[in-house]
Structure 1
C-alpha cells in the first residue's frame, strides 16, 4: 500500500514505554488473554470522541469490556439488508457470540455529533444534508430524537437534552433486534443508559421509574 507511512515517533516511544512497564509487569495476564480468548461481562457503546475514555471511567482491565465506538454513540434500528452495518454487527457478536450480561450505551457532554444533528435539523448544516455525507446520514438515526427536544431552549440546554435522548433512542433501537429482545426478556441481558459529563467527571444513569437521568 503506497500511501501507508511509518508510525509517528511519539507513538513508537509510547508503545515501547508501555511494553517495558505495564506489559512487563502484567505479562502473565496478557498471555492468559492471548491464549484463553475474551470473556467480557459487558458491551459498551460509546462515542468516538477522544475525551471519552471508557476504561478509565470504570477502572477496567483488558478483557473486561467489549467496546464499540461511533459518532454520537448511536444504535440504528434493526434492518438486515445488503448494506454494511458495523454497529449492528458489533451488537450481534457481543450478544450472540460473547453472551455479554450487560449492554451499556454511554453518551456524553459537548457531543459534536449531537450538535451536528441539531444544526442539520434546523437547516443550518447543508453539508450534512447531502446524500453523500456519511455523518449526516448516520445522524438521521437521531432525527426522531430531535423532535422530542425541539421545544427545549436553544443552546447548551437543548444540546444536553438531545445528548441524553440519543442514549434513549439507542436503547429503544436495541430492543428492535430480535436476539437482544429475546435475551432481555429472558433475564440474561440487561440494558443500561449512561451520560458522562466530561468537564465535571460526572456520570448519570437513566432511571426508568423517574424517566430521567440521575447521578450515579
Structure 2
C-alpha cells in the first residue's frame, strides 16, 4: 500500500531523474502553460490520463471528478468547479480539444445505475448521490435497453452513456457552442478499459465506441 512516505521516495526519484532530465522544459513551464488539450476524467486511481496518454508536464489540462461528469451550463449561485476549469481552459488557455474519458469498472456509474446511495445523508454517500443525479437520464435509457441491471452489459452501457451525457452538457455552454460552430474547438468522447488497457473513442455519428489500434 502506498503511503505518504512512499510518495516522498517517488518525489526524490522525480527530482533525480525526470526533473533533472527535463530541466529546460520546467524552465519554460515556469513562464506559463499553453496546453492544446483539456481532459475531463474520473478520479478513479486506476485511470491516470497522463499515464494512459504518456504525456509530459504542461501538455494537458486535466479535471478529474467522480464519473468524469460535466454539469450543464447554469448561472445559479454556488461554486461551479468543473465549469470554472472549463471556462479557464477554453477562454483563457484556448485549448483546441476537450476530451471526456470514462472507464471500465466505474464506481460512480455503478452507483448511478444501482441507486444504492440514494437518500443517504451528506458525508455518508449523499454528496455522491447528489452528484450522480447528472446521470439520471442516462440511467433511464440503460434501464429501457437492459432488463438485468446487474449484468456487465448494463454497466458498460452506463459508462458509455455517462461520456455521452458529459458531451451533451458541454454543448450547453455558450463558449463551447460558439467555438464548435466556428471549428476552433473539438469535443471527443473516450472510454478506457482497465482490464485490457485499451482506449475506445466515440464515433458520435454512429454512437459507438471504437478501439484505438
SS of alignment partner, residue 41 of structure 2: strand
Greater Cα offset, 163-172 or 57-66: 57-66
Give per-residue Cα distances to partners, 1:157-198, cap 9 Å, x unaligned.
100001000000000000000111111111000000001101
Match of 2:119 in 1: 129
How many matched pairs?
Answer: 204
Partner of residue 56 from structure 2, selected from 56, 61, 64: 61
Q: How far apart are the structure 2 equivalents of 1:75 and 1:119?
A: 21
1:148 aligns to what?
141
Equivalent position to 1:114, from 109, 112, 128 = 109
Aligned pair partner of 2:6 in 10, 13, 16: 10
CA RMSD of aligned residues (A): 1.3
TM-score relative to the length of structure 1: 0.91
Q: Deviations over 1:133-179 (max 9, x none)?
A: 11011000001100011031322110000100000000000000011
| Residue 8 of structure 1, CA deviation | 2.9
- With normalisation by structure 2, the TM-score equals 0.92
User: Does the 8 Å CA contact 1:72/1:114 hold for their aligned counterparts?
Assistant: yes
Residue ranges of structure 2 left out of the alignment (5+ in a row): none
CA deviations 1:13-53 (Å, max 9, x no partner) are 21111101111111111111112x00001000000000002
1:80-103 Cα distance to aligned partner (Å, 9 max, x none): 121111111111111111110000
CA 1:8–1:130 in 2, change beyond 3 Å: closer, same or farther? closer
Distance 2:158 2:65 in 1: 16
1:1-216 equivalent positions in 2, closer than 5 A:
8-35=4-31, 37-120=32-115, 125=116, 127-130=117-120, 132=122, 133-150=126-143, 151-152=145-146, 153-154=148-149, 155-216=151-212
Once the 2 structures are TM-superposed, how far is the Cα of residue 128 of structure 1 from its aligned partner? 3.3
Q: Is the 8 A contact 1:131 1:137 kept in 2?
A: no
User: Within 2, Cα distance between the matches of 1:107 and 1:9?
Assistant: 31
SS of equivalent to 1:128: coil
Question: Which blocks of at least 5 consecutive residues in structure 1 are unaligned?
Answer: 1-6
What's the CA shift for 1:131? 5.8
